[in-house]
């Protein structure tokens, strides 16, 4: 009987609901009316025993079938990074492409003719991609050469093809899995995908009569019995079916009772299922050892884990090695005990030759081959636990945890491995430097980073702490800390938005403020420099992060209005709002601040997304996480606010970013510092990326860093390490630029002193002229002027 295709098999197994096999056990019947009492007792006893035995067998039958059906498809979800898209003009060097290929496990090969191999010669990379099933279908392997010039992809030529490629998508890097509760990992294989040499080796070594016995092999048992009686061991005699049963119950207990149960269950399994089904399940079930806390199960994953290739491609030597390991996965581990593993492999080869499935010549030729095991196993547990944590969280909104851990879903995420790497390095290095330079105890500081794409909200990196590989507390998502001045843009938004009660040039009052309200403590906000600054233009109050004038502005606009704005920007403020919350006493997570600044970067609310789509285990699209945008700030107001946030960087608390970033980049952002320097924040954006950084201590003791001294430096280093698009907001309709005298807020002119050019919503710029700019005979001159032109 040929094995059914994967889907059909799954369907068959899933729809099988009632036992169709024969029920073991028989009914006995008595007849004679005149029997002695003793005989009746005996009969009744016998009947009872048979009933009991039947019941027990029925019970075993139920247990084993349930286990068989249930275990077959417990596949962890696989999580992938974004696939790299290659096209002429893309900013990418040959070295960067090679780095990506290495991440994907491509092998260097002087003549790359196999999928997953490449060759790099100066500005040319020749490669053959792997086949991959994306949400929009199967992408076959492509062989091509990529030429680079001036830091960009210049040309993509398919080998043997005529026309250049306009676009090529590489396969995505596997970045982790969502495992069943017991951390079992496996790559499911169909029997039809398993090379015959693997099956041959397995049967030759473990169960020569697999195809002829009915689950239990009497000859094997006889041998085992002799061995047991002669007092040697209980080992041996198990058929593959019995071993499978044993694996299901994960017990290595060696008692006669367990052995008996095992035999009955093996017989039952063979009644219900075909040899092919049993063999396929065996191949997927067997245990190949540990990788950290992840258990490697099945030949499919073992092949990837030890040889970094699909099972279909393993050769005779590798097949023999895998089969040989089954006897003792850790004792015969080819990584830890290569000699033992080699000896065991050769024993398997000998058994195969003896069984006649390979020739003696093949055996001799293969014995001398090395093990061929890759030193570094491909990543199983994720190197990016904080990002995976976000993925898992977003998935749980739509899926049951149980399904995530068992249905073999394929999750396509937005992670950019190189952005992630830059974020990790910036955080880890800066924390070490800061501790060293400031004489802080080593490892006392902590931090978190989140980077997203400014244009579509895709989360590119999440760092949850200074040990990014550690799967522990995720500070980017779960730590909520007071955000200080990071909240201020919500106040300035309230001031600038229609009906445009304020402009960037409006003068704010930065003189001492005392708020007295019945039932609350008096509130007297201070500036960071402990001084008051008199009248300050609005844009400067934000740029210099003046607390007093900002608090006064917020109180005048109303806390409710500010909170309403926070909601529009995408975060839920604490209720009720107190005056102090205007200066950021409310606590938020890095993720929430990323949402807020994502909205500020353009005026559209775009939820941070870590997932693009989810496919089923066999590549059918299951769910997409579409790009969603909603305009929440009108274009002119957004333009004004962005200009003010750029001023923070050019002249305000963020100006030390110039140490890291070129001025032409036009980065916008805001520092945040909290009470007694406990939290150091920086959030901001360029034309292409939004990033939020928090630094502080887990025990909430003062970290001794302002936003500019701490988080800003991480932000600067991170953004400098990445390709950035400059922030050049399109000037929307209804905006005009006007020269303003800073000290008075009056209209002025370029040639006058103390001036700045600021954007205004048309009709809101001040009318009153500064003396320097006031036209003496303005009306006459203009009219005369206009007549001429």
Q: Which positions are catalytic? A: 206, 485
What is d(CA 724, CA 688) in angstroms, rounded to the nearest whole number?
6
Residue partners of 284: CB distance under 8 A and separation at least 6: 72, 186, 188, 189, 297, 298, 299, 300
Tell me if 85 contacts other proteins by CB under 8 A.
yes
Query: What is the closest distance, in whole angstroms, from the C-beta atom of residue 607 to other proteins in the complex?
Result: 12
Determine, following the binding rule CB under 8 A, whether residue 732 of this chain makes contact with other proteins: yes
Query: Rounded CA gap, 452 and 414, in Å?
Result: 9
Token pair belonging to 442 = 């080593």
Q: How many residues bind to other proteins according to rule CB under 8 A?
A: 53
Q: Cβ of residue 750: shortest distance to other proteins, in angstroms?
A: 7
Please list every residue from 601 through 640 that binds other proteins, using CB under 8 A: 602-604, 612-613, 621, 624, 626-631, 635
Which position among 109, 123, 183, 456 is part of the footprint of other proteins (CB under 8 A)? Answer: 456
- Which of 102, 293, 433, 737 contacts other proteins by CB under 8 A? 737
Question: Does 750 interact with other proteins (rule: CB under 8 A)?
Answer: yes
Minimal distance, residue 533 CB to other proteins, in Å: 28
Number of other residues whose CB lies within 10 A of the CB of residue 209? 12
Does residue 241 contact residue 266 with C-beta atoms inside 8 Å? yes
**Rounded-to-integer distance, Cα 309 and Cα 305, Å:** 8
Count of positions (residues) in the chain: 789
Residue choice 8, 14, 44, 167 for contact with other proteins (CB under 8 A): 167
Report the distance separating Cα 304 and Cα 174, nearest Å. 12
Q: Does 47 bind other proteins (CB under 8 A)?
A: no
> Minimum CB separation from other proteins for residue 702, in Å?
41
Q: Does 91 bind other proteins (CB under 8 A)?
A: no
Q: 144 in helix, strand or coil?
A: strand
CB of 403 to other proteins, least distance (A): 21
Q: Which residues 281-320 are close enough to bind other proteins by CB under 8 A? A: none
Contacting other proteins within 415-454 (CB under 8 A) = 453
Sign for the pseudo-dihedral over CA of 554, 559, 564, 567: positive
Q: Does 752 bind other proteins (CB under 8 A)?
A: yes
Q: Which of 122, 136, 339, 397 binds other proteins (CB under 8 A)?
A: 136
Which listed range, 35-43, 383-391, 696-704, 779-787, lies at the site for other proteins (CB under 8 A)?
779-787
Among 320, 507, 738, 758, binds other proteins (CB under 8 A): 738
Rounded CA gap, 663 and 656, in Å? 11
Residue 1 or 730 having the CB closest to other proteins: 730
DSSP codes joined into one string, 364-400: HHHHTS-----SSPPP-S-S-HHHHHHHHHHHHTTS-
- Asked whether the beta carbons of 224 and 233 are under 8 A apart, the reply is no
Q: How far is the CB of 136 from other proteins (least distance, A)?
A: 6
DSSP state of 523: B
- Burial code (b: 16+ CB inside 10 Å, e: under 16) for 578-607 equals ebbbbbbbbebbbbbbbbbbbbbbbbbbbb
Residue span binding other proteins (CB under 8 A) among the ranges 19-27, 50-58, 588-596, 737-745: 737-745
Q: How far is 677 from 699, CA to CA, in rounded Å? A: 13
> What is the SS3 assignment for 651-671?
HCCCHHHHHCCCHHHCCEEEE
Record the tokens describing residue 324, joined without a space. 């040989």
Cβ 751 to other proteins, closest distance in Å?
4
Rg over alpha carbons for the chain, rounded to the nearest Å, is 35
Min. distance of Cβ 557 from other proteins in angstroms? 25
Q: Out of 225, 260, 560, 781, name the contact with other proteins by CB under 8 A.
A: 781
The stretch near other proteins (CB under 8 A) out of 323-331, 492-500, 523-531, 735-743 is 735-743
Rounded-to-integer distance, Cα 528 and Cα 278, Å: 72
d(CA 16, CA 675): 64
Using the minimum distance from each CB to other proteins, give the nearer residue, 334 or 759.
Answer: 759
Q: Which is nearer to other proteins, 354 or 630 (CB)?
A: 630
DSSP letters along 399-438, please? Answer: S-HHHHTTB--EEEE---HHHHHHHHHHHHHHHHHHHHHT
- Taking the least distance from each CB to other proteins, the nearer of 578 and 604 is 604
- List CB contacts of 632: < 8 A, sequence separation 6 or more: 568, 569, 599, 603, 604, 605
Q: From the CB of 496, what's the least distance to other proteins, in Å?
A: 17
Distance CA 356, CA 489 (A): 78
Only one of the segments 11-19, 120-128, 715-723, 766-774 lies at the binding site for other proteins (rule: CB under 8 A); that segment is 766-774
Tell me the per-residue interface mask from 668 to 707 with other proteins, x by CB under 8 A, - otherwise.
Answer: --------------------x-------------------
Q: How far is the CB of 775 from other proteins (least distance, A)?
A: 4
Task: Considering the complex, state which of residue 357 and residue 772 has its C-beta at the smaller distance from other proteins.
Answer: 772
Output phi, psi for 549, to 5 deg.
-65, -35
Pairing, β 107-108 against β 132-134: unpaired
Q: What CA–CA distance (Å, rounded) separates 486 from 492? A: 12
Q: Which is nearer to other proteins, 221 or 611 (CB)?
A: 611
Binding flag, residue 782, other proteins (CB under 8 A): yes
Of 63-71, 107-115, 351-359, 736-744, which segment contacts other proteins by CB under 8 A?
A: 736-744
Which of 12, 232, 501, 778: binder of other proteins (CB under 8 A)? 778
Residue 182 CB contacts under 8 Å (≥ 6 apart), including other chains? 295
Q: Is 560 in the site for other proteins (CB under 8 A)?
A: no
In the complex, least distance from residue 85 CB atom to other proteins, rounded to whole angstroms: 6
Point out which residues bind other proteins (CB under 8 A): 85, 87-90, 135-136, 166-167, 453, 455-456, 602-604, 612-613, 621, 624, 626-631, 635, 688, 730-733, 736-739, 747, 749-752, 762, 765, 772-776, 778, 781-782, 785, 788-789
């Amino acid at each position: 009987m040929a094995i059914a295709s994967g889907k059909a098999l799954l369907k068959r197994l899933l729809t099988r609901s009632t036992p169709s096999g024969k029920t073991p056990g028989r009914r006995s019947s008595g007849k004679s009316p005149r029997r002695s009492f003793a005989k009746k007792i005996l009969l009744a006893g016998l009947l009872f025993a048979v009933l009991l035995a039947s019941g027990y067998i029925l019970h075993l039958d139920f247990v084993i079938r349930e286990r068989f059906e249930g275990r077959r498809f417990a596949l962890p979800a696989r999580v992938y990074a974004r696939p790299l898209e290659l096209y002429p003009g893309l900013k990418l060097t040959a070295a960067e492409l090679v780095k990506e290929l290495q991440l994907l496990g491509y092998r260097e090969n002087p003549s790359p003719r196999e999928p997953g191999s490449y060759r790099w010669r100066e500005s040319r990379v020749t490669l053959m991609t792997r086949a991959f099933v994306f949400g929009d279908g199967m992408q076959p392997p492509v062989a091509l050469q990529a030429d680079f010039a001036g830091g960009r992809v210049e040309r993509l030529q398919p080998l043997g093809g005529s026309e250049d490629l306009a676009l090529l998508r590489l396969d995505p890097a596997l970045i982790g899995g969502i495992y069943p509760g017991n951390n079992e990992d496996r790559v499911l294989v169909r029997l039809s995908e398993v090379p015959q040499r693997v099956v041959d080796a397995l049967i030759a070594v473990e169960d020569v009569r697999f195809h002829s016995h009915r689950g239990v092999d009497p000859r094997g048992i006889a041998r085992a019995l002799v061995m047991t009686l002669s007092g040697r061991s209980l080992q041996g005699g198990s058929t593959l079916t019995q071993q499978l049963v044993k694996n299901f119950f994960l017990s290595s207990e060696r008692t006669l009772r367990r052995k008996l149960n095992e035999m009955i269950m093996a017989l039952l399994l063979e009644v219900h299922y075909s040899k092919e089904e049993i063999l396929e399940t065996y191949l997927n079930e067997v245990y190949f050892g540990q990788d950290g806390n992840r258990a490697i199960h099945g030949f499919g994953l073992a092949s990837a884990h030890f040889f970094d290739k699909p099972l279909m491609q393993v050769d005779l030597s590798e097949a023999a090695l895998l089969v040989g390991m089954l006897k003792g996965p850790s004792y015969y581990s080819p990584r830890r005990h290569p000699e033992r593993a080699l000896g065991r492999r050769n024993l398997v080869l000998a058994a195969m030759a003896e069984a006649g499935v390979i020739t003696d010549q093949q055996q001799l030729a293969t014995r001398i081959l090395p093990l061929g095991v890759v030193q570094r196993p491909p990543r199983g547990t994720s190197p990016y636990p904080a990002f995976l944590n976000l993925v898992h969280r977003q998935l749980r909104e739509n899926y049951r945890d149980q399904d995530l851990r068992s249905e073999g879903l394929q999750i396509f995420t937005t992670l950019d491995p190189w952005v992630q790497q830059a974020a990790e390095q910036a955080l880890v290095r800066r924390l070490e430097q800061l501790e060293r330079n400031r004489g802080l105890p080593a490892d006392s500081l902590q931090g978190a980073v989140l980077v997203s794409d400014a244009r579509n909200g895709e989360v590119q990196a999440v760092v949850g702490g200074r040990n990014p590989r550690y799967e522990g507390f995720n500070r980017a998502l779960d730590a909520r800390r007071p955000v200080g001045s990071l909240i201020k843009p919500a106040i300035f938004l309230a001031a600038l938005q229609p009906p445009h009660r304020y402009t960037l040039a409006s003068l704010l009052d930065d003189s001492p403020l005392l708020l007295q309200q019945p039932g609350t403590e008096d509130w007297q906000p201070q500036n960071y420099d402990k001084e008051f600054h008199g009248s300050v233009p609005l844009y400067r109050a934000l740029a210099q992060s003046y607390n007093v004038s900002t608090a006064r502005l917020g109180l005048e606009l109303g806390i409710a209005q500010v909170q309403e704005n926070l909601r529009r920007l995408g975060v839920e403020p604490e209720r009720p709002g107190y005056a102090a919350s205007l200066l950021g006493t409310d606590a938020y997570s890095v993720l929430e601040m990323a949402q807020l600044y994502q909205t500020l970067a353009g005026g559209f609310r775009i939820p941070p997304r870590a997932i693009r789509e989810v496919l089923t285990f066999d590549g059918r699209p299951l769910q997409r996480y579409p790009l969603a945008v909603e305009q929440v700030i009108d274009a002119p107001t957004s333009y004004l606010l962005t200009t003010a946030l750029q001023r923070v960087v050019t002249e305000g608390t963020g100006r030390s970013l110039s140490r890291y970033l070129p001025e032409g980049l036009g980065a916008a952002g805001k520092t945040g510092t909290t009470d007694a320097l406990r939290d150091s924040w920086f959030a901001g954006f360029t034309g292409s990326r939004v990033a939020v950084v928090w630094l502080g201590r887990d025990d909430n003791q003062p970290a001794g860093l302002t936003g500019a001294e701490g988080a800003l430096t991480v932000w600067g280093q991170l953004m400098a390490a990445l390709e950035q698009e400059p922030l050049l907001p399109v000037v929307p309709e209804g905006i005009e630029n006007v020269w303003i005298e800073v000290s008075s807020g009056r209209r002025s002119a370029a040639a006058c002193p103390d001036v700045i050019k600021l954007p205004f919503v048309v009709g809101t710029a001040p009318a009153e002229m500064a003396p320097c700019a006031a036209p003496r005979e303005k009306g006459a001159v203009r009219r005369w002027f206009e007549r001429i032109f």
